[in-house]
Chains A and B, each alone.
Chain A
Amino acid sequence: GNSVTQMEGPVTLSEEAFLTINCTYTATGYPSLFWYVQYPGEGLQLLLKATKADDKGSNKGFEATYRKETTSFHLEKGSVQVSDSAVYFCALNNQAGTALIFGKGTTLSVSS
């Protein structure tokens, strides 16, 4: 079946540090891949997405590249800020109009 595995948190970093959150997936076919972010007390917001192999999604300094050969979609940011503190979810969708399949989420805490 389809599944998403992401690194366990929490991840604790100092401001301006480099961030990597690993995400791998198992899926049939060619899913779309997503990173969603959840700030404290809020719902999930789409951070970035990629719909085919070698695509790079980017937003707010975050990037992730769809790697079919390694079935991965790792999230990176070169210099994190305190305001990036949140829970990050990797997800996949195999067919438009169907449900997303989420990883367990990774909590990021950035201190100044």
Chain B
Amino acid sequence: DAGVIQSPRHEVTEMGQEVTLRCKPISGHNSLFWYRQTMMRGLELLIYFNNNVPIDDSGMPEDRFSAKMPNASFSTLKIQPSEPRDSAVYFCASNWGANTDTQYFGPGTRLTVL
């Protein structure tokens, strides 16, 4: 069974550009999480969805960040406009939220904003 799929794996962009990160959760999972990893702050939750509905977006830094989950098999995290301080590794994770607390992580997208 395929794990969580994220694309792109690496993204280099210039300040002010729009960035879109993509995630495909494990088939059958109904919860999806976006985390950000930086040296300074470690791993922190940005937003999570249950059954495609955003439940907690309190970790989204500011209005420049937005996330969508149009269906059970796809989610996007968009940054517009991007800034150098957004440089980080962004992870997507999924699970079958009703029955388990174990989350399965994708390989991450390393974003560099110049």
Contacts and interface: CB of A to CB of B under 8 A. Distances in A.
Interface of A: 32, 34, 36, 41-46, 49, 51, 89, 93, 95-100, 102-105
Given A43-B108, A95-B101, A102-B43, 4 more contacts: A93-B101, A97-B31, A99-B33, A103-B42
B107 A42 contact: yes
Nearest to B56: A99
Interface of B: 4, 31, 33, 42-45, 48, 50, 55-56, 91, 93, 95, 97-108
Contacts, number: 57
Nearest to B33: A99
Contacts of A103: 42
Given A46-B102, A97-B50, A104 B107 contact: no
A100 B48 CA distance: 11
